[in-house]
Amino acid sequence: MSQQTTPARSRTTRARSRVIANIVRGCLGNLVEWYDWFVYASFSIYFAQVFFPEGDQTAQLLSTAVVFAVGFFMRPLGGWLLGLYGDRFGRRAALTLSVTLMSVGSLTIAVTPSYQTIGLAAPVLLVVARLAQGLSVGGEFGSSASYLSEIAPSGRRGFYSSFNYVSIVLGQLSALAVMIVLQSVLDEEQMGQWGWRVPFAIGAVAGLVVMYLRRSMEESEHYKRDRLRRSAPEAAGERRGLFALLTEYPLQVIAVLGFAIGGTVAFYTFTTYLQKYLVNTAGIPKPTASLINFAALFVFMLLQPAAGALSDRIGRRPVMFVFSVGGMLITVPVMTVLGQTRNPWVAFLLMTGALVFVSGYAALSSIIKAEMFPTKVRALGVGLCHALVTATFGGMTESVALVLKQSGRESTFFWYVTGCIALTFVATLLVREPSRESTLDGEDTASERASARDDEQVTSPMER
């Protein structure tokens, strides 16, 4: 009996090792992309004065936030183009292309002279760089979410795909870590003059390394089977691309848009914007705000696999309900108290508490969307829908918050976030449990299902 089970266990171990190796390579690329993306948000408090004319701090931050939003407006185009590219030429090819675009954008920002040196050309180059990065990130999410969801074994997809946001948060933490190190070795003047350029240069170099790593990733078996299927005579004339997405899967598109609205706004509120909120509203010193943000995001990162694994056990909808109901209840009081405290421990506990609820969305963001579309439009469906929401809601989060602050109605922003989360609650209420009707399970071969059952049998209770 043991002689028969040993080969099965060995095959399962090798299969699991391949999955983990591909996830690591995919997530390293995702990490670098989001590091580059968040470096802009994290260091804007230092370089706002470099790219724009002199003015008060809020006005300069608003200018950089608008450029941040401009990058978001390219994300739907990136989600569309790179989504089509990933569905046609493979997830690996799309992921390699996206990290290349991000690296080029970071290098451009790193070497662009100041407004005082080249005038309007400085903000123009900044916008061009952010457009390239927006295109990159728009395509990254759909391809990455599709890839991680497709290579994960059935019954563990929530757990494995949650590492998409682990790498996103790790990228943000890396950006903050670089900031904290630079703040410790450089003074305020040096940071404003040239120190802020260092993280962009790091991102450009790291992107080249990741481009090589992604070229060695294994392609998704789901994509390989779809490529073979569309070459068969019976697949001739099959509709694909945007037309197929909108005409054959309109309800799925609406559901994914609903999921993303509240989750995206909450994520950018309690991560990207909160650092500025602690400095600009609460009056907490910049280095202290950076440490608070880093510590809270580290806890948030650790919560992702736990929330993903929980969704494998109890379903996606219950976990999403925890996020949406909790988010509606805590956003206004948490933001109100955060704006009035200068105690770093109170700020850390409140930020971490809010991020516990946001984990209910972030950990499931990839899998709950990927499960709704078939392979032929999965990267496009996930990427385009997610990018549309981040462009119209996520990218405008900081701008909305700063405009309302400037007009003396900052508390209105708290209710705006609550209302967006309510839309996610409605979407969760209306859909059926995605994990029980997953398109990914419908595409699995018998051998893949057997492998997944073997994996479940040899997994220890602690891993489960």
Look at residue 455 in the predicted model and tell me its pLDDT: 42
What is the rounded distance in angstroms from the CA atom of residue 273 to the CA atom of residue 68?
11
- In tens digits, the chain (464 residues) has pLDDT values of 455 556 656 666 666 777 787 888 778 878 888 888 778 877 877 877 777 766 555 666 666 777 766 776 788 898 899 998 888 888 888 888 888 888 888 899 889 887 778 877 888 888 888 888 888 888 888 888 888 888 888 888 999 999 988 988 888 888 878 988 998 898 888 888 888 899 999 999 988 888 887 777 888 888 888 888 777 666 656 777 888 899 999 999 999 999 999 999 999 999 888 888 998 888 888 888 888 988 998 999 999 999 999 999 999 999 999 999 999 999 999 999 999 988 999 999 999 999 999 999 999 999 999 998 988 899 999 989 988 998 888 878 888 998 898 888 889 999 999 999 999 999 999 888 887 777 777 665 433 443 444 444 333 333 33
Look at residue 156 in the predicted model and tell me its pLDDT: 87
DSSP string, 160-226: HHTHHHHHHHHHHHHHHHHHHHHHHHS-HHHIIIIITHHHHHHHHHHHHHHHHHHHTSPPPHHHHHH
Distance of CA 435 to the CA centre of its chain: 21
Look at residue 338 in the predicted model and tell me its pLDDT: 92
Look at residue 54 in the predicted model and tell me its pLDDT: 66
Identify the residue whose tokens are 């123009």.
124
Look at residue 453 in the predicted model and tell me its pLDDT: 43
Look at residue 454 in the predicted model and tell me its pLDDT: 40
Look at residue 53 in the predicted model and tell me its pLDDT: 66
Of residues 143, 348, 378, the one with CA closest to residue 241? 378
Query: Tokens representing 305?
Result: 């696999």
Angle at 28 between CA 23 and CA 34, to 5 degrees: 120
Domains along the sequence of the chain with CATH: 11-220+246-441 (1.20.1250.20)
Alpha carbon distances (Å) from 391 to 118, 143, 264, 287, 382: 29, 17, 10, 29, 14
What is the rounded distance in angstroms from the CA atom of residue 11 to the CA atom of residue 396?
48
3-state helix, strand, coil in the chain (%, to 5): 85, 0, 15
Alpha carbon distances (Å) from 131 to 72, 108, 135, 217, 309: 8, 11, 6, 27, 35
Classify residue 236 by its DSSP letter.
Answer: T
Look at residue 57 in the predicted model and tell me its pLDDT: 59
